[in-house]
Amino acid sequence: MKHDKLGLNTICTHTGELEDATFKGAVSPLYMSTSYAFENVDTKRYPRYFNTPNQEALSRKIAALEKTETALIFGSGMAAISTALLAYLKSGDHVVLQQMLYGGTYNFVTEQFQRYGISYTFVKGSEADDFEAAITPDTKVIYIETPSNPLLTITDMAAIGALAKKHDLVSMIDNTFASPVNQNPIEFGIDIVLHSATKYMGGHSDILAGAVACSEELMKPIYLTGRNLGGNLSDYTVWLLERSLKTMGIRVKAQNENAMKMAEYLDRHNSVSTVYYPGLSSHPGHQLAKKQMKGYGGMLSFDLDESCDPEKFRDSLKLIKPSMSLAGIESTLLSPAKTSHALLPQEERVNQGISSRLIRFSLGIEDIEDLKADIEQAIKASKTEMAVNSK
């Protein structure tokens, strides 16, 4: 069966699965061996070579989900991201990156690249022209993230893909926020797709994993670098991730729907000054998102207005958990200024539009009316004395 012709939920459920020939069980058997019979140098199996039966099965599923030829599974999103970047950058090279990046990626670049003699430029805007202006004769890679964290800005994937081709560069995207359900960057000309599978792919806040998906040809250096760096995922977790992916299509669809309803509700709310969600027609990236996304995703952000105390708001929530991570089936939220972006200098944070009143919200699959009720009561409880007295 041609797997690229199958629908999303069929790929999620079946593609890549291993047959249980002995017992005819319904799911892929788990092979935990780290030692396999030696056949010859080309076919020896070893977990760090990305070629155990369960790793290969999961790779087939993820490649099909991202509509490309192959995928590799890593022990974390950062293992996938760092391996892919180091595979394509060496001493003397330069990389152009979007400024609004996942904090761990930003730290990897700013804390490590100088030691390897790799130079970099962060691009403030999200237009292709902004990226082109940063390209130097040494540039080898363009790196983007869309929708971005935490303001959900949208970068034009087709324009970046074309720009990379024009200058003979490799383009990479962190597709974690969208997940393969909402966005397939390969279809828009991006070369290499990166994921923190800890988020929507895992989906239950209990797996740390990462993935890279691209053509066989572009994967060659990533495979070699990955084998040397050794950021692989143990087969037990590979198997759990395969199980999680079976429900990714329906999970993410439910999260998209909840996020859209929550965005509309917050947008109408008196105590909320701005809502950042690409599904709202007021969002600056809405038209672009409509063109390149199949769903607008389960993440949104909003600014509480002056009448609310953000700390009281967070402390008053009963159902929604204040939490560092995102994309689980349970709704979570956080204040980027206090958590994910706390290490940025205050000036840089404000520069990026991240105020102390900003809340980043990861929608789960709960009933939307219960989520709205929790937000409503927490906003009421968060009203500052001053605001109450002046009424």
Ligand X SMILES: *Cc1c(COP(=O)(O)O)cnc(C)c1O
* Residues making contact with ligand X (CB under 6 A): 76-78, 102, 104, 149, 174, 176-177, 196, 198-199, 208, 210
Q: Please report how close the Cβ of residue 79 comes to ligand X at its closest, in angstroms.
A: 7
Closer residue to ligand X, CB minimum distance, 135 or 208 = 208
For residues 59-95, one letter each, b for 16 or more C-beta atoms within 10 angstroms of the residue's C-beta and e for the rest, the string is bbbbbbbbbbbbbbbbbbbbbbbbbbbbbbbeeebbb
Q: Is 174 a catalytic residue?
A: yes
Contact present, 151 and 135 (Cβ < 8 Å): no
For residues 281-301, one letter each, b for 16 or more C-beta atoms within 10 angstroms of the residue's C-beta and e for the rest, the string is eebebbebbeebbebbbbbbb
Largest CA distance in the chain: 80
Q: Are strands 272-276 and 94-98 parallel, antiparallel or unpaired?
A: unpaired
Closer residue to ligand X, CB minimum distance, 207 or 379 = 207
Write down the residue that tokens 């972006």 correspond to: 341
Q: For residues 7 and 367, what is the distance between their CA atoms, to the nearest angstrom?
A: 26
Among 93, 174, 191, 235, the one annotated catalytic = 174
Strands (E), 14-93: 70-74
Among 36, 48, 106, 267, the one annotated catalytic = 48
Q: Please report how close the Cβ of residue 143 comes to ligand X at its closest, in angstroms.
A: 11
Q: Is 199 a catalytic residue?
A: yes
Closer residue to ligand X, CB minimum distance, 134 or 144 = 144
Closer residue to ligand X, CB minimum distance, 88 or 177 = 177
The closest alpha carbon to 231, from 215, 210, 213, 214, belongs to: 210
Which position's Cβ is nearest ligand X?
Answer: 77
Measured CA to CA in angstroms, residue 355 lies from 109, 305, 326, 341 at distances of 24, 11, 20, 10
Torsion of CA 17, 53, 194, 358, to 10 degrees: 70
Closer residue to ligand X, CB minimum distance, 45 or 199 = 199
Q: Is 48 a catalytic residue?
A: yes
Among 31, 102, 200, 223, the one annotated catalytic = 102
Active site residues: 48, 102, 174, 199
